[in-house]
A and B are shown apart, each in its own frame.
Chain A
Amino acid sequence: MTGDKDALQIIPPAARRPGMVRQVILEFEKSKRKHLWLICAAMLGVLLLWFGYQSARQVEVTTDYRVLLYSLPTVNAVFLPLLSAVVASTVCDVENRANTWKQLLTMERAEDLFCAKWLTCALVLAVVVTVEVAAASVIGGGLGFQSIPASECFVLWVSTLAVCLFVATVVECLCLFIANQFVPLVVGVALSFLGLFSMYLPPAISVFVPSSYFGLMSTVGMSYNAATGVITWSTVTWPVGYLALIALLTAATFVISLRAFARKEL
């Protein structure tokens, strides 16, 4: 080796590479005409309709806002794993369909591409969850429930987004290593299906089911008195241990996938 310093002089200077913000914008440009926002809006619409229907039946019993905070995670457990999987699959699958991995990895670092895709999914899901929490508050208010305190809205937002990001990270990992997009979508559907039953699973099992974490991180507890037939709602401390666990799992999945993707040969 004559030394990189000397050799590099042969190559003329080139323009600057785009930063992460520009790369995230590029990911949105790649998803143009994939109807990503429309799909999110449609799924969110169905979720909110279900939530509204459920809440409307409860308002005759009580107007306690905790009813809303209890029922929203149950609906989330069914819809949001699938929505998260669809978002991650849409963002990542464009490269599989276009056969662009080889071309892109001659222009940008694998790590940057992975992070840009993850950030794009995170941004979309953050918007979805923000809209969902805001819409749930509005729907609750419209039905006659007490307004949800801002701090509770924040806790709900963080808890919901954390689970969505975990699912999206797992699905992104699958999309990057499996060209067949059937597999990631099956994962999304399976998690949604499990979400249907997540509230009925014993805690020892539900910690192993990602969809359960919507409910596990709820700040509202419910007890049902079979003798009187009365349901009582109570506020419980935010189980940050579960939040830490799902955040740790997300980080671990992210780091392992990132390293594997960076080492992947095409």
Chain B
Amino acid sequence: MVGSVMYPVERLGISSEPRRGGAGFARRATNTSFEPRDRMAVTTTGLTKRYGDACVVDRVSLAVPERAVYGFLGPNGAGKSTTMKMLLGLAHPTEGSATILGTPLTPKNRLEVLRHVGSLIESPSCYPHLTARENLEIVRQLRGLPKSEIDEVLKIVRLDDPSLRRKRVGNYSLGMRQRLGIAAALMGKPPLLLLDEPTNGLDPSGIHEIRALIKDLPRMFDMTVVVSSHLLSEVDQMADHVGIIRKGQMVWQGPLADLHARGRHWIALRTTDNAHALELLSGAQADPDDASYLRIKAVDDAVAARMSLCLAERGVGIIRMEEHEDSLEDIFLAITGMEETL
């Protein structure tokens, strides 16, 4: 009867597979977890870029919902910058197409579409012999914006200190130049912002500041932000949607919450008699990482309470009960099949 009172395998059983799919699921999965009603700020269809025989971007289909912070994640050389350049018309796609804010991007309408897109590609663009205000004045005139825009964006990126008024950008720190680059991209509060590795070269406080700003942009200005990064933790902290690119191929995209949900959740259990507990709990198994623990699939509080009561009734005391889940890095490695870290 011992076994029969225990919880069935499907309720307590351990699954080494992720909740949906698994490490072995299709690499080029086009998981677009977006509802059809979602309006997309950016979509691409089979976007491809080849340089000779080298395929830098391979049939990438992006789907960036409006007002999302979309983390475009991938290791260096994965094709993030090239994809973003194609979205800006700075590189011509070998195949495929892109639609920006509902308009198919063509060489003819490129500039008209890009008037509503702010961008910062690879490194900040600013004239070192001019002041921040003079730099932004050039952007302002090219975009045909009112003068008040300059003060607004300088305030947003906190470069409005009067002491900086006459300081030339050549004397700025890298972090300040990066903020100025973001200010230039924000000019006119475009509905779409494309930022390529915006925290590159920043110190920890600068990184924190830029991340917080990016996270707030959709709320503050109804913006959609596409931000590329090779740092998992960065995307985890900023983005609500994520696209993972590797060797030019999109391996996964969807809401960040869905990515987290792909991770395994389990309970590590240490008892006074693990061997007996193993017999009692159907689906339990020895923890492969620590022999003094058992591992069971994550359960809700009520099931966990009943389980502990059941073990106690049969004379097995619980010493430790810990809930575990895969880190984003584990999930990323499972998706991409990459052994090395980013």
Q: Which residues of A contact B111 (CB under 8 A)?
A: 17, 106-109
A106-B90, A266-B85 given as contacts; is B102 within 8 A of A11 (CB)? yes
Q: Could you tell me the distance in whole angstroms from the C-beta of A95 to the nearest C-beta in chain B?
A: 9
Q: Is the interface of A mostly helix, strand, loop or mixed?
A: loop
Q: Which of A26-34, A72-80, A198-206 contacts its partner?
A: A26-34
A151 at interface (Cβ–Cβ under 8 A)? no
What 1/0 mask marks residues of chain B from 117 to 159 whose CB sits below 8 Å from any chain A CB?
1010111111111100010011101111100000000000000
- Please give, as numbers and ranges, the residues of chain B lying within 8 Å of A97 by CB-CB distance: 127-128
Question: In the complex, which residues of chain A have a beta carbon less than 8 angstroms from the beta carbon of B99?
Answer: 7
Distance in angstroms from B144 CB to nearest chain A CB is: 3
**For the complex, would chain B's binding face be called helix, strand, loop or mixed by DSSP majority?**
loop
A102 touching B125 by the CB < 8 A rule?
A: yes
A39 to B184 CA separation, bound complex (whole angstroms): 31
Question: For the complex, what is the distance from the CA of A7 to the CA of B89, rounded to whole Å?
Answer: 18
B90 engages A265 (CB within 8 Å) = yes
Judged by a CB distance under 8 angstroms, whether A61 is at the interface is: no
Are B125 and A107 in contact, with the CB atoms below 8 A?
no
A102 touches B122 (CB 8 A): yes
Please state if B141 and A22 are interface contacts (CB–CB under 8 Å).
Answer: yes
Interface members, chain A 6-60 (any B CB < 8 Å): 7-8, 10-12, 14-18, 22, 26, 29-30, 32-34
Structural contact, A98 and B125, CB atoms closer than 8 A: yes
Task: Answer whether residue B116 sits at the interface, using C-beta atoms and an 8 A cutoff.
Answer: yes
Among candidates A33, A98, A105, A107, residue contacting B143 with C-beta atoms closer than 8 Å: A107
B28 interface residue (CB < 8 Å to A): no
A103 contacts B125, C-beta separation under 8 Å: yes
Tell whether, in the assembled complex, residue A102 and residue B144 are in contact, meaning their CB atoms are under 8 Å apart: no
Cross-interface CB contact of B127 among A16, A100, A265, cutoff 8 Å = A100
Contact status A99-B123, CB under 8 Å? yes
Contacts of B142 in A (CB 8 A): 17-18, 26, 104, 107-108
CB-based contact B112/A15 at 8 Å: no
- Complex alpha-carbon distance, A265 and B91, angstroms: 5
Q: Check if A226 is an interface residue, CB within 8 A of chain B.
A: no
Q: Is B23 located at the chain interface by the 8 A CB criterion?
A: no
By a CB distance below 8 angstroms, the chain B residues around A107 are: 111, 114-115, 139, 142-143
Whole-angstrom distance between the alpha carbons of A65 and B184 in the complex? Answer: 56
Q: Is the CB of B90 within 8 A of A102?
A: yes
Q: Are B114 and A33 in contact (CB under 8 A)?
A: no
Contact of B138 among A17, A26, A33, A265 (CB under 8 A): A26
- Residues of the A chain whose Cβ atoms lie less than 8 Å from the Cβ of B137: 29
Residue among B114, B116, B130, B168 with the highest chain A CB neighbour number at 10 A: B130
Q: Which of B90, B111, B134, B142 has the most CB of A within 10 A?
A: B142
- How many Å from the CB of A204 to the closest CB on chain B? 43
Q: Please judge, given known A-B contacts A4-B103, A26-B141, A94-B127, whether A11 and B113 are in contact too, CB under 8 Å.
A: yes
- Determine whether the beta carbon of B112 is less than 8 Å from that of A34: no
Q: Is the CB of A29 within 8 A of B129?
A: no
A1 within 8 A of B: yes
- Once bound together, how far apart are the Cα atoms of A18 and B116, in whole Å? 16
Q: Residues of A contacting B117 with CB < 8 Å?
A: 106
B145→A15 contact, CB < 8 A: yes
Do B134 and A266 have beta carbons less than 8 Å apart? no
The smallest C-beta distance from A103 to any residue of chain B, in angstroms, reads 4
Q: Does B60 contact A (CB under 8 A)?
A: no
Is B127 a contact of A105 with CB atoms below 8 Å? no
Q: Which residues of A contact B109 (CB under 8 A)?
A: 4, 8
B92 at interface by CB-CB < 8 Å: yes
B88 within 8 A of A: yes
B101 at the interface (CB under 8 A from A): yes
> Looking at the complex, which one of A4, A18, A104 makes contact with B144 (CB distance below 8 Å)?
A18
Q: In chain B, what residue has the closest Cβ to A32?
A: B130
Write out the residue numbers on chain B whose beta carbons fall within 8 Å of the beta carbon of A108.
111, 142
Question: In the complex the two chains form, is B126's CB within 8 Å of A100's CB?
Answer: yes
Cβ–Cβ < 8 Å partners of B88 in chain A: 102, 106
Write out the residue numbers on chain A whose beta carbons fall within 8 Å of the beta carbon of B8: none
User: A99 to chain B: which residues have CB within 8 Å?
Assistant: 123-125
Contact A33 B104 (CB under 8 A): no
Given contacts A34-B129, A100-B126, A103-B125, contact A10 B184 (CB under 8 A): no
Which parts of B65-104 form the interface with A (CB within 8 Å)? Answer: 85, 88-92, 99, 101-104
Q: How far is the CB of A151 from chain B (nearest CB, A)?
A: 41
B89 CB contacts on chain A under 8 angstroms: 106
Q: Which of B104, B109, B112, B129 has the most CB of A within 10 A?
A: B129
Does the CB pair A106–B119 fall under 8 Å? yes
Extra contacts, 20 of them, besides A4-B106, A11-B102, A26-B138 (Cβ < 8 A), are: A7-B104, A8-B103, A8-B112, A10-B102, A11-B103, A11-B113, A14-B116, A17-B111, A18-B144, A33-B130, A34-B129, A94-B127, A99-B124, A99-B125, A102-B121, A104-B125, A106-B90, A106-B111, A265-B85, A265-B90
Name 7 interchain pairs, CB-CB below 8 A, sorted by A. A15-B145, A18-B141, A32-B130, A98-B126, A99-B123, A103-B139, A265-B92
